[in-house]
Amino acid sequence: MQITKHRDKCDKITTMKKIVLIHSKEQLVHLLDANIKDFIFGLDQFTAIGVGKINQTVFYEMIELCQTNNASVYALANIPIHEFELDAFKAFLMHYDTCEVIKSYLVSDYSALQFKREGFFCKDLIYSPDTLVTNSADKQTFYDLGYSGTWIAPELSIDETVNLLGNDTKDLVQVFGYIKTSNSKRQLLTNYAHQLNQDLPIHNNDQLTLIEETRKQKMPIIENDNGTTIFTDFVLYDPKRLAQLKQCLGMVYSALFIDIEDVIAAVNDHELIHKDNYILDSYYWESESTIRKEVNEK
């Protein structure tokens, strides 16, 4: 793969992109065949959604595929970085700094910002902490710190999201797929299996769901070397409201746990092929303000 020289300034974003979040090379191949050109993925080493399918070699191969197909990548590296991981993390950021296929790094650990300030790399950073960007003051703070954009918290209503975006073209908004609800650095499934004294195939397995005692809904769950992540029991899907989000950098379509044909259909604004396989939620964005649970203080 030929890595081209880094540009001093990014091209001005004039159109909203449809960006697909993936976690395997197989997903990338299918989406490229469907002429989809913008992706989010990362090394399993630095992501919470990896399932053991993207190591250093596979990541490089995926970057090559994107370069061959004139596609763009927003490299995901959004886990807390421990001190013993800092050198490897810095090496990753530096290695791909001159690769034009990668447009930005999506990060949550402040070490990335510090490395950039110290001149180790020049590529843009998008702050991607999952749930922390919920108001304009926070968003402006991250811009002032040196981030070029943010990933807006997915639990906001459509009206809150539009108001938060304003006239900016720097932010990402998830518009389709299962939404991450919680993340722990602990390997909760392994601990559970240990308590049962059972050896279960639960690590790096993207076919598992969690059912709470008081609910029947099934929530996808992933455990990998970086911890455990739980997602909503429903798929966010509301094509009628997407026109309101034209001013963001990218609308993110998550391919996690979803048939790749349905991901392609959603990106192309077509009806889902296997929609009966999911709980689809179009009400999630409808409220004027995010619905909060009432607290009984008696």
| pLDDT band at residue 290 using 50, 70 and 90 as cut-offs | very low
pLDDT band with cut points at 50, 70 and 90 for residue 39: very high
Report percent pLDDT > 70 for the chain.
88
Residue appearing with tokens 């029991």:
233
Rounded to whole angstroms, how far apart are CA atoms 112 and 132?
Answer: 17
Q: Say how far apart CA 263 and CA 270 lie, in whole Å.
A: 10
Q: How far apart are CA 205 and CA 15, in angstroms?
A: 36
Residue 215's pLDDT is 80
Q: Determine the average pLDDT of the residues in 147-161.
A: 86
Residue 126 has what pLDDT? 95
**Is 225 in contact with 44 (CB distance < 8 Å)?**
yes
Beta bridge partners of 156: none
Is the pLDDT assigned to residue 4 strictly greater than 70?
Answer: no
* Cα–Cα distance measured from residue 103 to residue 263, given in angstroms and rounded to the nearest whole number: 22
* pLDDT, position 283: 56
**282 pLDDT tier (thresholds 50, 70, 90):** low
Given CATH 3.20.20.70, say whether it is the number of domain 17-179+233-281.
yes
Does 76 score more than 60 pLDDT? yes
The pLDDT value recorded for residue 183 is 86
Tell me: the pLDDT tens digits for 118-130? 999 999 999 998 7
Q: Does the global pTM surpass 0.85?
A: yes
Tens-digit pLDDT profile for residues 228-267: 999 999 998 887 777 777 778 889 999 999 999 999 999 9
pLDDT of residue 168: 59
The whole-number pLDDT of residue 15 equals 63
Cα gap 197→144, rounded to integer Å: 50
